Amino acid sequence: MVKRKDPPGGAKDSHGRQPDNTRTTKRAKVQAARTIRTQPSDAALEDGKLDLNRFLNAREFEIKSLERSMNKCKAVNATRVFQMVPRAMRRRTASHNVKRVPKRLRAQARKEMLEDNTPTVESRKRKPRTTRARIRAETMRKLRYLAEKKRKRKAKKAGDGAVEEVQRRGSAVVTTRPPRPKIRRNMLNEPPKADSKYRKRQINKTWLPTHLWHAKRATMTRPSSPLWRFAIPLTSTAKCYRPTHRASGQKGVVAWDTSYMSTIGVYGTADCLERALRYLGLVQEGLWNTRGRKWRAGVRKWTGTVSRQQKGSRRDIGPATIVWNPQPPATTSDEMETSEKPKKPRRQILIRTHPSCFLELFEELLKVAKGQKPQLHVEDLRFEVGSIELVGPASTETLLGILEPFHESPEAAERHANVFRSLAGVANPASLPKDAILAFSARDPRLSYPPKRVQIPSGGEQTILKTLTDWPVEENLKPYDIFDRESRYQASRMPSQKSLNRRKGANAPGEPIKVTAADPPIPVMLLASRPGTDGQAQGTWTLLAPWKCIQPIWYCLMQYPVSTGGNPRLGGLEEQRQIAFEHGTPWFPGDFPATTAGMNWELEERAKRRRDWDRRPKSKRLEWKSLDLGAGRKGEIGDGLACDFEYLFGVSARTRTQGKPDAVSIPDAVAEAMVVDPPAEQPQSPVGMTIRQVTKTEFSALMKSGSGEGVVPEGGIVAVGLEFVTRGVAKPCARIYRLPRKGGKVGGAVGVPSTQAEVPATPEARTRDGLPVDLSEQWLSKAPNGDKKKGAAVPKMPVGVDMETRKKILAGSLLAVEVPYPKPAAGNQTDFGGHPLCPGEEDLIGFVTTGAFSLSEGRGTAIGSISAGRALETLRETGPREGKFCVVRNAGESIGWLARWEVV
């Protein structure tokens, strides 16, 4: 390492002058710029007294001097190059290698390094310094020599054989193309065969098409424990919580590679498909009458929860999106006359679901498909169709910048492609018609790399408004190419990047690559989704494309220059949960404990929390048995490391340790095929057989019905969104209580104070469990608009009362005033330092599955599940206003916070 040394101070040139030291001059210049002039304190004094005018003038001078110094520091360029680079790029740019700095800053970085005498590093000229590195470099050199020698020997042998073959046959040797991947019907398909270089790393999992890109920029799942049989990016390696919030709602865009989402294709007649979908829970009449015409025609999608029949009731499987393939144009009368016998038209649907519930849904589809006549065909398209999701104001702009419709002439352009190109300027996909679909063929985005910023045409507002109002996508409707196996296969045979580089090098600089016969069209489908909650939240674009086309699309998408600055942000599984939480929508499977996938997720999270708790020393971990809840109550309710629904619904300890959830029965015909894709072993719990999900529609119907009409299913839970009234932030596994009953019974209105003043003649009464009688009133007083407020005025003296009654009322008002000192010790019997106690165990109604401070709401919010029976009982007895108040207490804490729940 060359040390930075300054020349000696006495050194002079031939003319006897001091040489110009650039470094010393620059340092003096920077030091002078950072010097701030001030005035002495005596300037503000006159005869030992403070003069206000002089004091203000002195401070004004100092403030102006500070501002001048700040401007001078900017002028002399007091920051280095790596400090001018965005924070997300500093880790790789704070290097001695100039080539790792962005091109626009390389000249300045090189100048700074020369001025500071910083040693530069070039990887090709770097020599090994240790014995191990020297042996490794020599071994690599020998291996390269042997590989080159082997390659030449194979090429020579192949050349001689080709010549002999030509002489013997008299024609050139024909090389066959690789076989087309097979798609087996009514069976699970194998994942794509990985390259030999990475094959051993994908024995028990499958890589996403963009795995190599994500592995350098995101935290991935552990190789030994994949998630849903995939290697999935969890979160970005950079700090991205607040940037993700801004990009998803204010400016920018967040993108995910969601190719792990499972796709199932079902083929058959329309009647058989309708019976199969009704079997999965799509029984709403609006789907099968004239209201569902657009959905069955293929211009709208359906998104909801599918279910299966179990023991006389229905159990949810998970969320799913179903898209119909449009029918081909009707044939002419001449063609119909020549046909022997008209056949029923066969339809196709795509079912897109979560990978955690894929096997359960696939088994149900096989069961119902075999019972249909003519029989339905079910295909596993998990590795045939990939997907990308985008959220943010610039999501539409990003898609317009990378997806260019594929057509030979403007007249031959597809209708959906023209509608898509007219969306320039749309800032929110939720403004499109609900569940809109656009399907067309796109060009290879690498042909126009790097992507250019989309220019919004002048007067485009009227065009966008007309397009969104009319939405002309039903004209000249044809079957979508993404349903066609041949179209997907041809699109996957894209030219290599090397061939595109050769074609680009043959063109003039800046000239795009022209489309040739070697560039196949890419069938894509765009699905526009709205958030589940009301408001102006951002919608979502979902791009469906062939599996092997996802990688080139992703590379170009992440390089698109957004009009608001920067590039699209990378999103992982944690960012997906964050955006769903900020929108107030439950995230599958974490917020769906009533499903098999949701309970498996909860059991895995319990095991993780248990391992983290066990690793802590005893002095650093919380002892659940010693938790003080006040009023003589000790110990946490249930398991403090879990959302203990078993405890909530009274499952005994013996059953909890020995029970098993309802397993998904797999037919023998599919069992052998599932060996290539085995489900991960999950911990067992009997609560999966106990709880059932109650939807928002069903719960609303139960609320409107009388007390004796609506029947809540046994173990029914409902998903709710929680908003804290004043303060408080909930964490996962937090306990949710309803407001306690007054005196063991719930009257007409809980916590309504009396209009007449009373004098307490006896000490404060307690309930059977030691809690105060007015605990419900104490919690209601915390509400900003509650019936009882802190510091309320003394009631006025009633009119027409005698003197004795006046004395009693006055004495009661004086005794009711709280004396600020000395404050009596509560001893955790009536409150915690003025904070009300948490209700008793009998008022526990649910648990929080996701909770944090919401950046969109500016306060703590949470999503949880509560008992539908207990919530409905409270609403019927106290009314919707007070019945929706609840108390949320984090596991391991003694203090709770007042919140209000709403069904989501």
Assess whether pLDDT exceeds 90 at residue 15. Answer: no
Residue 539 or residue 78, greater confidence? 539
331 CB-near residues (< 8 Å, 6+ apart): none
Per-residue model confidence (pLDDT) at position 201: 92
Tokens for 214?
Answer: 């994500």
Assess whether pLDDT exceeds 60 at residue 20. Answer: no
User: Is the omega angle on the peptide bond into residue 822 within 30 degrees of 0, that is, cis?
Assistant: yes
Per-residue model confidence (pLDDT) at position 172: 45
Assess whether pLDDT exceeds 50 at residue 661. Answer: no
Per-residue model confidence (pLDDT) at position 98: 78
* Mean pLDDT of the 546-563 span: 95
Assess whether pLDDT exceeds 80 at residue 75. Answer: no
Per-residue model confidence (pLDDT) at position 533: 67
Residue 824 pLDDT class (50, 70, 90 cuts): very low
Query: What percentage of the chain reaches a pLDDT higher than 70?
Result: 80
Least confident of 297-306, 324-333, 551-560, 720-729: 324-333
Assess whether pLDDT exceeds 90 at residue 54. Answer: no
CA gap 496, 680 in Å, rounded? 36
Report for 62-66, 394-398, 713-717: range of highest mean pLDDT:
394-398
Q: Are 898 and 724 in contact (CB under 8 A)?
A: yes
Give me the residue label for tokens 């970005």. 236
Which string of DSSP letters, residue by residue, matches 701-729?
HHHHS-TTT--PPTTEEEEEEEEESSS--
* Mean pLDDT of the 158-167 span: 54
Assess whether pLDDT exceeds 70 at residue 432. Answer: yes
Closest CA to 565 of 724, 392, 732: 392
CA gap 457, 564 in Å, rounded? 17
Q: Which residues pair with 846 in a beta bridge?
A: 736, 866
Least confident of 144-148, 433-437, 699-703, 797-801: 797-801
CA gap 589, 52 in Å, rounded? 67
Least confident of 61-75, 594-608, 824-838: 824-838
Per-residue model confidence (pLDDT) at position 161: 54
Residue 281 or residue 682, greater confidence? 281
pLDDT in tens, 23-50: 677 677 777 777 887 777 777 777 778 8
Residue 242 pLDDT class (50, 70, 90 cuts): very high
* Mean pLDDT of the 874-883 span: 89
Per-residue model confidence (pLDDT) at position 753: 37
Closest CA to 420 of 327, 528, 556: 528
Phi-psi region of 527 (alpha: psi -120 to 50; beta: other; left: phi over 0): beta
Assess whether pLDDT exceeds 60 at residue 70. Answer: yes
Closest CA to 5 of 121, 119, 117: 117
Tokens for 890?
Answer: 């984090």
Tokens for 439?
Answer: 């399907």
Residue 78 pLDDT class (50, 70, 90 cuts): low
Residue 220 or residue 750, greater confidence? 220
Closest CA to 558 of 856, 247, 262: 247
CA gap 629, 640 in Å, rounded? 13
Report for 27-31, 94-98, 185-189, 675-679: range of highest mean pLDDT:
185-189
Per-residue model confidence (pLDDT) at position 548: 95
Least confident of 1-15, 314-328, 399-413: 1-15
Give the chain's length: 904
CA gap 249, 579 in Å, rounded? 9
Per-residue model confidence (pLDDT) at position 153: 86
Residue 675 pLDDT class (50, 70, 90 cuts): very low
**In the predicted model, what is the mean pLDDT of the chain?**
82
Assess whether pLDDT exceeds 60 at residue 60. Answer: yes
Residue 16 or residue 268, greater confidence? 268
Report for 737-751, 804-818, 820-834: range of highest mean pLDDT:
804-818
Q: Which residues pair with 552 in a beta bridge?
A: none
Assess whether pLDDT exceeds 80 at residue 17. Answer: no
Q: Which residues pair with 717 in a beta bridge?
A: 693, 867
Assess whether pLDDT exceeds 50 at residue 672. Answer: no
CA gap 609, 642 in Å, rounded? 8
Per-residue model confidence (pLDDT) at position 331: 57
Q: Which amino acid is at 628?
A: D
What Rg value do the Cα atoms of the chain yield, rounded?
Answer: 36
Least confident of 220-224, 564-568, 650-654: 650-654
Per-residue model confidence (pLDDT) at position 671: 40
Per-residue model confidence (pLDDT) at position 56: 85
What b/e sequence results for 265-288 when a residue is b if at least 16 CB atoms lie within 10 Å of its CB, and e otherwise? bbbbbeebbbebbebbbbeeeebb
* Mean pLDDT of the 677-691 span: 52
Q: Are 544 and 524 in contact (CB under 8 A)?
A: yes
Q: Are 883 and 741 in contact (CB under 8 A)?
A: no
Count the Cβ atoms, other than its own, within 10 Å of residue 556: 21
pLDDT in tens, 767-810: 556 788 889 989 998 888 644 444 445 456 777 788 888 888 88
* Mean pLDDT of the 546-562 span: 96
Per-residue model confidence (pLDDT) at position 90: 59
Q: How far is CA 789 from CA 179, 724, 742, 794, 813, in A?
A: 77, 17, 18, 12, 16
Containing 430, the helix (H) or strand (E) segment is none
Query: What percentage of the chain reaches a pLDDT higher than 90?
Result: 51
Per-residue model confidence (pLDDT) at position 163: 46
* Mean pLDDT of the 487-509 span: 92
Residue 657 pLDDT class (50, 70, 90 cuts): very low
- 352 SS3 class: strand
Phi-psi region of 631 (alpha: psi -120 to 50; beta: other; left: phi over 0): left
Give me the residue label for tokens 């944090």. 852
Residue 168 pLDDT class (50, 70, 90 cuts): low
Assess whether pLDDT exceeds 50 at residue 663. Answer: no
